[in-house]
Amino acid sequence: MSKVIAMAGKGGTGKTTISALLINYLRKKGMTPVLAVDADSNANLNELLGVEVEITIGQVRKELKEDMPPGMTRDQFMEMKVHQALIEETGFDLLVMGQPDGPGCYCAANQYLAMTMDHLAGNYPVIVVDNEAGMEHLSRMNLRDIDLLIVTSDPSARGIMTAKRISDLTAPLGVNIKKQCLVVNRAPEPTPEELRKKIDETVTASGLDLGGMIPASPELVNQELSGESYLKLDESVPAVKTAFEIFDRIIPAD
Ligand SMILES: Nc1ncnc2c1ncn2[C@@H]1O[C@H](COP(=O)(O)OP(=O)(O)OP(=O)(O)O)[C@@H](O)[C@H]1O
Ligand SMILES: [Mg+2]
């Protein structure tokens, strides 16, 4: 059974950054191959991983609405197309969901997609899903279970309350979430005592487990600016070290 780790959180709080660091971590731990799913319609995880995207699942879905090539069933066509959309790299494969359906959903295509995703998922010990704040793709992918939802927040009490609201929004999606953890990102170092207290109080009140705090990191900013892959970062970077320690704690063993 694959372990599904998904991201949630307000825009710009670090979902894609933490996804990339997590894929880096899983590769180092040999928990591979990882299936990385970019479920943000404005896909950009590939940039942090240093890979190019050719076709997205959204484009595959469009093609499914058109005529099948002769001699192929829809299942076979879908399977072939999803494999074309799968970007295979060392230690991980990346699948980009792309744009969601426009008006007039072609539900059969979504069903085929869900079936194919199910089939594909079985090949991976860990699946990492980077989301946009809305998380509509989660239901489309037919993910019934999420083993760990990482909810990201900026370092403020209001930010944490927002994280709590976002995590509550996952309930109507009908996905069974086994564990949720809050990761406070871009925390000032050292964290001012008042802020630390406020964060602790809010975390307790919200009932979210605090996975940890990742410091604001000039190295991460530079890595993004220079266009270098986040897979090249190692634990000599303090924010990476902290993120890896958090993953050690929150990723369910087995
Ligand atoms: N710990 C950090 N230190 C410094 N900069 C960071 C840190 N984490 C994220 N950033 C920067 O903040 C910006 C937003 O991060 P990121 O893209 O990961 O957020 P997101 O939650 O995926 O955003 P979106 O909702 O748009 O998908 C990026 O430019 C990223 O480099
Ligand atoms: Mg993102």
pLDDT of residue 47: 96
Phi (first) and psi of residue 189, to 5 degrees: -125, 130
Q: Does 121 or 133 have the greater pLDDT score?
A: 121
Q: Where in the sequence is the domain holding 59, given as residue range(s)? A: 3-250
Beta bridge partners of 95: 37
Please give the structure tokens belonging to residue 60.
């595959």
Q: Which residues line the pocket of ligand 1, CB cutoff 6 A?
A: 9, 11-17, 40, 132-133, 152, 185-186, 214, 216-217, 220-221, 224, 239
**Ligand 1 midpoint to CA 222 (Å):** 12
- The DSSP code for 111 is H
**Ligand 1 midpoint to CA 76 (Å):** 38
Q: Which ligand is nearest the CA of 15, by number?
A: 1
Please give the structure tokens belonging to residue 58.
């959204």
Question: What mean pLDDT comes out for the span 153-166?
Answer: 90
The 10 Å Cβ neighbour count of residue 249 is 11
The number of domains in the chain is 1
Question: Average per-residue pLDDT in the chain?
Answer: 89
**Ligand 1 midpoint to CA 4 (Å):** 22
pTM: 0.94
pLDDT at 106 exceeding the cut of 60 = no
The DSSP element (H or E) to which 169 belongs, if any, is none
**Ligand 1 midpoint to CA 10 (Å):** 11
Q: Write the CA distances from 14 to 75, 77, 130, 165, 187, integer angstroms.
A: 36, 36, 10, 17, 12
pLDDT of residue 135: 67
Q: Does 110 or 205 have the greater pLDDT score?
A: 205
| Cα gap 180→149, rounded to integer Å | 5
Q: Which ligand is nearest the CA of 225, by number?
A: 1
Tokens 């971590």 sit on residue: 25
CATH number of the CATH domain containing 205: 3.40.50.300
Tokens 């950009």 sit on residue: 44
Please state the atom number of ligand 1 nearest to the C-alpha of residue 17. Answer: 18
Please state the atom number of ligand 1 nearest to the C-alpha of residue 11. Answer: 25
